[in-house]
Structure 1
Amino acid sequence: MFNRYRHIVIVASGAVLLGAALPPDEREPIRQVVVQQSDLSFGTPGQSQQAAEYQSPCRAGVDNRNSDLCAQWKAADAAQQSAMWAGIGTLIGGLTFAAAVAAAIYARRAAKHTETGAIAANKTLAHAEQTSKRELRAYLAVVPDGINQLIGTTEAMGHVLLQNVGKLPARNVSLFVYMEMSERNVEPKYRRADFQTPGGRSETERVVHPNGSMRQGCYNAHRIPIKEIFEAVDHNIYVWGIAYYDDGYGCPRYTRFCHRYTTASRNRTINPTREATETRVVIAPDKARYHTRGNDAD
């Protein structure tokens, strides 16, 4: 729009300059006063001469100071030129004002587009920052590590392996592990669904680095005598709990887990009444299944 107004102003200015450059004889015809013969037939010779000079022809551009009529024409010409230049000035002023309005509208729209672009850029930057944090933060996964018999005991303890699969160290790591055996063999739809975990975090200085791991067993109060595992027929053993940690950006996170074993998968070479002289696997880690309940993370 602004370029269109600029072209109009240039065309109008050229037309004005072209009109001013024409010779006076081409701009106006010769102004000739027709003098009637009867008007010059009276009076004295001196008066007739003065009347002739007063009423003499007045060409455009001729400065005849003795002709009152010529002076009137010059005054009329000056008034006409003044009116013309005033009109041209008004036209140019109007065009200039219109161009200024168009420039203001264009500037306003440009500012609006700039503001919209800045908002979009900020949103994109915020999204990229959030995506980067999600990709780089620490993630703790808890995988089954079997049910094992410890040295000098006849009891089995459920173990898990805590792994940092993220790209930043996990800090303030605390892990709670529990284990229980079902009271009887039940159908899958009647399997246990409620697995309570502590809601409070414990202050620790444990750090698990990227690709690092930490092994931990269940609480001593949750150990199961190996004899009971061998006597139970197709019962389920649940190893569950929760891990709390900071994700590397100071944000608290958690991972809840629940692994299910079946007593039918026990190591039948073990004597359940004999104390172990070395750590023995009662049910191997590959026999575990992730239970349909009790698994969650943020």
Structure 2
Amino acid sequence: MSNRNRFTDAALGVIVGVGIALLFLVWAFPGFRNPAYQQERYQNAKNGETGEYNPVVRPSLWETYTSPTDTYAQWIAAFAAFGSVGVSIWAVRLVRDTLELNRKSTDAAWAAVRHAEKASSLELRAYLAIVPKGVNQLIGTRDVMGHIEVRNVGRLPARKVFIHVRMGLFNERVRDLAKLPVADDLTDSKLAFVDRVVQPGDNPAQGSEDREPLNFISPDEWEFVYVWGVVYYFDGFDERRFTRFCHRYAIDSRNREFDEEPASAPAPTETRQILFAEKARYHQIGNDAN
């Protein structure tokens, strides 16, 4: 029960208690109803002074409460007041119950509105998924770079999209996120200047900030290539979202077509895939989203 309901019940209790007490006084003590009955005390006192025996004839119980000298009008008013109090109590209770029902109905309506808004945002918002695009040798250089593809699989454009991609060589399966650092959404000043939009169905590609020489992609040097990072964006409902990704490539799965190519060979004139996208594995850590 709310504090408001407790206060209402307490007030009604006080009103009913006072009304019952007043009616009890009126009913139980004739003097309250008919001042003429006070003469009995006066007559007894006078008899005591004069020594005369002039007893007062006390009316019967029925006469006491039905005497024509009684104040019938006050009786009628008293019972009418009592009835009015009862009706008022009943009306106040009805009003209170009606207000309580209205409050519950309003709360339920707002809850339904909030649920609908949440369901709508979850259904319509932008969702950015990250898929691997391999490790590729760049045009005009002997270096390789990790690539990813950003896919908006939601229904609204993703705005202010910041894509941060890293690449590194490791001789172990990385199990510590500290070894796979990404840009911090709250402290990296670069995020404030991004104004990229990814429409639903768009698939923009992005290369890593890091490069490695082609001859490093060798099992004699390293065991794995990791391409990892994070994408920050607004989902269409002014909510900041992120998708974190981590793709692992085993160097043993490399394209062996270029194993025997000497380091002095001319740089390619078109992009060449060194580690194919289908060879990527989603690492057990570093993949998360909200």
Structure 2-normalised TM-score?
0.66
C-alpha distance in structure 2 between counterparts of 1:223 and 1:232, whole Å = 19
SS at match of 2:198: coil
Q: Give the conservation status (yes or no) of the 8 Å contact 1:232–1:263.
A: no
Which amino acid in 1 is paired with 2:180?
A: F
1:253-264 map, 5 Å: 253-264=241-252
SS at match of 2:180: coil
Change (3 A) 1:153 1:192: farther
C-alpha distance in structure 1 between counterparts of 2:165 and 2:244, whole Å = 10
1:210 aligned partner: 200
RMSD: 2.5
Counterpart check, 1:135 vs 2:123: yes
SS at match of 1:281: strand
Q: Give the conservation status (yes or no) of the 8 Å contact 1:179–1:237.
A: yes
* CA deviation string 1:155-212 (max 9, x = no partner): 2211000111121111111211111111x3x3x4x65542111221141221101121
Change (3 A) 1:123 1:296: same
C-alpha distance in structure 2 between counterparts of 1:119 and 1:268, whole Å = 66
Which amino acid in 1 is paired with 2:133?
A: D
1:295 aligned partner: 287
* CA deviation string 1:15-56 (max 9, x = no partner): xxxxxxxxxxxxxxxxxxxxxxxxxxxxxxxxxxxxxxxxxx
SS at match of 2:218: helix
Q: Which of 195, 205, 210 is 2:180 aligned to?
A: 195
1:90-239 map, 5 Å: 90-182=78-170, 184=171, 186=172, 188=173, 191=175, 193=177, 194-199=179-184, 200=188, 201-219=191-209, 222-232=210-220, 235-239=223-227
Shift of 1:103: 1.4
Q: Give the conservation status (yes or no) of the 8 Å contact 1:150–1:279.
A: yes
C-alpha distance in structure 1 between counterparts of 2:253 and 2:192, whole Å = 35
C-alpha distance in structure 2 between counterparts of 1:284 and 1:192, whole Å = 25
Q: Give the conservation status (yes or no) of the 8 Å contact 1:174–1:202.
A: no
The structure whose Rg is larger is 1
Unpaired runs of at least 5, structure 1: 1-78
Counterpart check, 1:242 vs 2:230: yes
Q: Which of 258, 275, 280 is 1:270 aligned to?
A: 258
Structure 1-normalised TM-score?
0.64
Unpaired runs of at least 5, structure 2: 1-66
Q: Give the conservation status (yes or no) of the 8 Å contact 1:267–1:282.
A: yes
Which amino acid in 1 is paired with 2:252?
A: A
C-alpha distance in structure 1 between counterparts of 2:198 and 2:147, whole Å = 17
C-alpha distance in structure 2 between counterparts of 1:191 and 1:179, whole Å = 16
Change (3 A) 1:224 1:129: same
Change (3 A) 1:256 1:86: same
C-alpha distance in structure 2 between counterparts of 1:192 and 1:126, whole Å = 39
1:280 aligned partner: 272
C-alpha distance in structure 2 between counterparts of 1:111 and 1:137, whole Å = 38
C-alpha distance in structure 2 between counterparts of 1:125 and 1:97, whole Å = 42
* CA deviation string 1:225-245 (max 9, x = no partner): 222213437711000111121
Seq. identity, % = 38
Shift of 1:254: 1.9
Which amino acid in 2 is paired with 1:198?
A: A
Change (3 A) 1:119 1:245: same
Which amino acid in 1 is paired with 2:244?
A: R
Deviates further, 137-146 or 272-281: 272-281
> Which stretches of structure 1, 4 residues or longer, exceed 6 Å deviation after superposition?
81-86
Change (3 A) 1:135 1:101: same
